[in-house]
Amino acid sequence: MSPRLRGVTLPFVFGAGLVAGRFAQDPQPVPVGKPAAEAPAAAKPHPFQGVFRLVSRCTNGEIVQTPGFGHLAITGRHLFLVAGAPSSTPNVLLLRSSVRTVRVKDDTMQTRVVGGWLVDDDSHVVLEENGKEELRRVHLVQGGLRITEDQRNWLEFERVE
């Protein structure tokens, strides 16, 4: 082969290889009657999941006139609560901040403390016991949730998002 053709042949073979490789990598057409694979559908969130604002509370069977303030966020695995309310002691606020794991079955929510604290009626800061489990009933109410400790004590939240 002449030196002149050798210089042309190598780039030509290289270019032909790239073109052939390109066609070999193109996706094959889907046969007629066989649907293309679809992306999996996202799981529908549980009705208890979302972000909520405290709107009402009942303590010892009496609906409190000043429910306080607070927000609750429930995800598929965690519950986050930040709340404050006037206490029975003058000039003392009841405060609570908590992170918990959550499992829901029907209308029962089982939580386990990951970390948190509260301020009691005597203004003492009390750390929540890590790993402590609690069960609460949860009722869907118009626009939100009611979480009951028992028949005489509950918190009601409206959905924010």
pLDDT score of 27: 56
Residue 15 DSSP SS3: helix
pLDDT for position 37:
62
Half-sphere exposure of 148 (CA within 13 A, CB side): 13
In the structure, how many helices (H) and strands (E) does the chain have? 1, 10
Residue 45 inside a domain? The answer is: no
pLDDT tens sequence for the chain (161 residues): 545 444 444 444 444 444 445 444 555 565 676 565 666 677 788 899 999 999 999 999 999 988 899 999 999 999 999 999 988 788 888 999 999 999 999 999 999 999 999 998 888 999 999 999 999 999 999 999 999 999 899 999 999 99
pTM check: above 0.75:
no
Inside any domain, residue 140: yes
pLDDT of 23 reads 46
Give residue 80's domain range: 50-159
**Within-domain flag for 35:** no
Contact partners, residue 72, CB within 8 Å, separation at least 6: 51, 52, 53, 54, 79, 80, 81, 83, 145, 147, 157
155, part of any domain: yes
Residue 5 falls inside a structural domain = no
CATH number where 128 lies? 2.40.128.280
pLDDT at 18: 42
How many domains is the chain partitioned into structurally? 1
Q: Extract long-range pairs of 83-88: CB within 8 Å, 24+ residues apart.
A: 83/54, 83/155, 85/57, 87/120, 87/121, 88/121
What pLDDT score does 29 carry? Answer: 62
